[in-house]
Structure formats: C-alpha cells, structure tokens
C-alpha cells in the first residue's frame, strides 16, 4: 500500500469517525470511477488492454452500487445475478466491496465499528466489513437482500443482520449439496420465486427477452473464459494478483453484463497473440491459487510481480461455475450451475476440481490460502494438502486474511512463500 493510498484512507477514516458518512461514500464512489478510468485508458507496460478494461468496468459497477440509497441489491458471491442485470438493478457483493475498502486504505474503521457493535472477531472479515460499513452509514440502504446457503456460514449471519438493520426484504436461496433431477427442480422453483420477489420489491417486471439475452451473454462469457484458460495453459501472461480478483467479479456478480462479455472476448484475442511456451525453455514456476487472494498485500503480491521465476496462473474461485447455461431454460440451467459449483457441497468436490484445473493449466505448485474466518477452507486444508501432494503438486497452506490488514503477518508469510518458491524452482 503506497503513501497516496494511506493518506486517502486516513482522510476517509477521518470523515467516517466525524460522522460525515455520506461525504465518505460519495468520495469513495468518485475515486473508484476515476481510478478505473485512469487504468482503463492508460498505456504502456506489459498489461494486456483487456485487463485494463476489466478494472475500469468493475470499478464503475462497484461505484454505482454505493452511489445512491435504495437502488442496489446486496447479494452473496454465489447469488445468480442475471435476473438483477436483466432488470437493471445494481448489486453489492461483500467480497468485492470489502476488498475495495481495503485497497482504499480504510478497512480498519469499518472492522473496528463492527466489533464495537458485537460482531465477533472470528467472523469472516469480508462480511464483518460490510456490517461495519452499514453501522457507520457509509453503506447505503439497499433495496433488498438476496443470498444463498452455499459455501459461506457468514452468509447466514451477516445478511440477516443487514436485513434487520435496514429493515429491507430478504430472500435466502436454499442450495442442496448434490446435483440431481429433484434438486434441480427444487432450486429452479426457488429461482422463479426469486424473480417474483425481485419484481415485487423493485416495482419492475422482468422482460423475458432481455433475460434471455442476459443469459446468452453469460453463457458466451463463460465459454470465452474456458478458451482463455486453455490459451493460458501454454503461455505466460504478466499479470498482478489484482486482476485474478477482477475475473472473480466479472464471472460472478457481473456475469451476463455486456461489459463482462466484451472483456472475455478481448482477453481471448489478446492471449492468443502471446508467444507459446517452448519445450526445453526455462520457465517460471506456475502457481494455482486456491481461495481468495490478498491482492492488496504488497509483501505477497510483489513477490510474484517482481519474481522472475514464479507466476500465479489462475485461481479456483474465478472459474468455479463451469456448467453450460441454456438461455431457453434459464432457471433450470442456473440451478444446475449452482448445484455443480465446485465450492458447493463436500470439500472433496473442490479438491477434485482443483486437481483437474492444475493438470489442465500445467501447474507446478498450489497455494492454499486460509482466509481468516472461513471455516470451510480452513477445515479442509489438511485433506486438500494431502490430496494435492499425493497427486504430485507441492502445496503451501498459507494463513492470512483477504481484507483485514490487522490479521497480516508479513514477515512470516513472506518467509514461507519465499521458501515455497525456492522449493518449486529446485524441482524444475
């Protein structure tokens, strides 16, 4: 985090503590847009133009979500947002918005406020941040809240807390663990109910033609990204950890948008023009990252940014939705996608998916990131490490935090990561 960000974060913290929350919110939205546009229209360096574009559009979407009270829906990362996109309703997602607060240097004031209000220290930092933003008045009152029961226990606490705090309508999608014909019917019926719920509380009627177009864009976006992964499996791309998290946003809350489709079309074409890795050529160690990335943590991100012998090739959270979407059966195909998500259900499913991705992407080693408060990831760490290493992939289980700068042990993390990269280099 550079001095400019620290100073900006300090100013935002002062505004929040002096109860000028609306001014803080407006400033954050303005800066998100401005920074996104600055990156999008910049030139030079080795960053692909597509990566600049995704930063620009994700920043605009994030700014739009907090710009005015009563407009956006708060959703979980795994809520199918194609319905919101077809209705023109902005969405706020904790994992995205919390990372933006940390990258802006003002995470602590929100996290401390949440803890002052009784939120336990052990709650997932992403969700704790959102509660702190609500309690300080920086998070605008949403129009509604929709979340799923998938993956994250914090969903059940934070979203209910926010719904009661703001007194807004709240819908929970109950997602079974297994994918079966009966479960597809059960979940698709809930998704139809979600459509009715959103229509009722937004005062807007869903245009089925627009919905089909949104679903078609989502399907094409996912297919483009499959091709991007195939292209990256035999190429080197200079990319910072930040842009893996931009991919997670583009393929989750912003899936089905025109911008998301344009981004993957650009990325596919630009990756195809990169040189192929040559047999016998000394190459960088190729890392697969499991779970969220602390992209704002310079001590870790700079190790890959400036390390000539290692690169993070992909992240399993980015492409966990790999089933095919059918615009003619939107509710059934969305239900199938959620049920088949690699993070849904038992940990063995995620482990199998990571191993498949590691083989596809020609990975040398795996970093398994245990984000503070994520019981599912932490609980499966020993089993995952054993499975990965038995399959021939050296694995580092790294404890850290995706958005709380107070939970970072830079020295220890750098030492362990450095030793792991040296191990991979010795094995090549």
Q: Which domain holds residue 132?
A: 3-427
User: Does 223 have pLDDT greater than 90?
Assistant: yes
Alpha carbon distance 134, 131 (integer Å): 5
Are the CB atoms for 59 and 41 separated by under 8 Å?
no
SS3 percent helix, strand, coil of the chain, rounded to 5, is 55, 10, 35
Output b/e per residue, 323-356; b: 16+ Cβ within 10 A.
Answer: eebbbeebbbbbbbbbbbbbbbbebebbbebbbe
Give the angle subtended at the CA of 130 by the CAs of 108 and 39, to the nearest 5°.
75
* Reported confidence tier of residue 306, pLDDT bands at 50, 70, 90: low
Give the mean model confidence (pLDDT) for residues 317-341: 90
Give the mean model confidence (pLDDT) for residues 147-164: 89
Alpha carbon distance 255, 215 (integer Å): 9
Which of 97-101, 355-359, 422-426 has the highest average model confidence (pLDDT)?
Answer: 355-359
Alpha carbon distance 15, 26 (integer Å): 11
Determine the distance from the C-alpha atom of residue 353 to the mean position of all C-alpha atoms in its chain, rounded to a whole number.
18
CB atoms under 10 Å from CB of 178, counted, come to 12
Alpha carbon distance 255, 258 (integer Å): 9
Q: According to the model, what pLDDT value does residue 308 have?
A: 66
User: Does 162 have pLDDT greater than 90?
Assistant: yes
User: Does 323 have pLDDT greater than 90?
Assistant: no
The values of phi and psi at residue 315, to 5°, are -130, 135
Q: According to the model, what pLDDT value does residue 1 have?
A: 64
pTM: 0.94
Sheet holding 365-371, edge to edge: 310-315, 285-290, 365-371, 395-400
User: Does 247 have pLDDT greater than 90?
Assistant: yes
Are the CB atoms for 16 and 101 separated by under 8 Å?
no
Query: What's the sign of the alpha-carbon dihedral 27, 155, 380, 337?
Result: negative
Name the domain count of the chain. 1
Q: According to the model, what pLDDT value does residue 81 have?
A: 96
* Reported confidence tier of residue 307, pLDDT bands at 50, 70, 90: low
User: Does residue 319 sit in helix, strand or coil?
Assistant: coil
- For the chain, percent of residues with pLDDT exceeding 90: 75
Q: Name the residue among 155, 98, 97 with its Cα closest to residue 123.
A: 155
């Amino acid at each position: 985090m550079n001095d400019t960000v620290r100073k900006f974060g300090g100013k935002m913290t002062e505004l929040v503590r002096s109860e000028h929350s609306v001014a803080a919110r407006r400033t954050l939205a303005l800066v998100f847009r401005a920074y996104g546009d600055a990156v999008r229209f910049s030139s030079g360096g080795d960053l692909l133009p597509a990566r600049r574009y995704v930063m620009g559009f994700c920043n605009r979407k994030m700014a739009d979500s907090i710009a005015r009270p009563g407009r956006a829906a708060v959703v979980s990362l795994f809520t199918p947002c194609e319905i919101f996109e077809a209705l023109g309703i902005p969405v706020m997602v904790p994992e995205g918005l919390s990372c933006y607060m940390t990258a802006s240097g003002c995470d602590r004031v929100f996290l401390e406020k949440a803890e002052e209000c009784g939120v336990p220290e052990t709650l997932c930092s992403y969700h704790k941040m959102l509660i702190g933003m609500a309690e300080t008045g920086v998070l605008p009152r949403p129009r509604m809240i929709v979340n799923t029961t998938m993956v994250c226990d914090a969903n059940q606490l934070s979203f209910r807390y926010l719904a009661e705090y703001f007194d807004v309508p709240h819908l929970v999608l109950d997602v079974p663990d297994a994918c079966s014909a009966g479960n597809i019917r059960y979940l698709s019926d809930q998704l139809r109910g979600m459509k009715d719920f959103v229509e009722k509380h937004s005062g807007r009627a869903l245009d089925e033609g627009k919905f089909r177009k949104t679903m078609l864009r989502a399907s094409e976006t996912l297919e483009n990204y499959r091709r991007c992964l195939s292209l990256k499996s035999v190429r080197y791309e200079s990319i910072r950890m930040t842009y893996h998290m931009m991919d997670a946003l583009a393929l989750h809350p912003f899936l089905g948008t025109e911008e998301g489709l344009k981004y993957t079309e650009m990325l596919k074409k630009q990756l195809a023009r990169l040189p192929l890795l040559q047999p016998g050529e000394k190459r960088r160690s190729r890392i697969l990252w499991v779970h969220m990335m602390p992209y704002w943590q310079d001590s870790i991100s700079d190790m890959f940014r400036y390390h000539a012998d290692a690169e993070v090739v992909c992240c399993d959270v980015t492409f966990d939705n790999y089933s095919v979407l059918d615009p003619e059966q939107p509710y059934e195909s969305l239900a199938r996608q959620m049920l088949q998500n690699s993070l849904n259900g038992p940990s063995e499913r995620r482990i199998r998916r990571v191993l498949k991705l590691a083989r596809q992407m020609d990975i040398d080693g795996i970093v398994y990131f245990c984000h503070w408060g994520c019981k599912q990831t932490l609980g499966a760490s020993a089993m995952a490490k054993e499975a990965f290493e038995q399959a021939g992939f050296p694995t580092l289980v790294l404890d850290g935090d995706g958005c709380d700068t107070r939970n970072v042990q830079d020295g220890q993390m750098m030492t362990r990561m450095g030793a792991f990269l040296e191990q991979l280099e010795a094995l090549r």
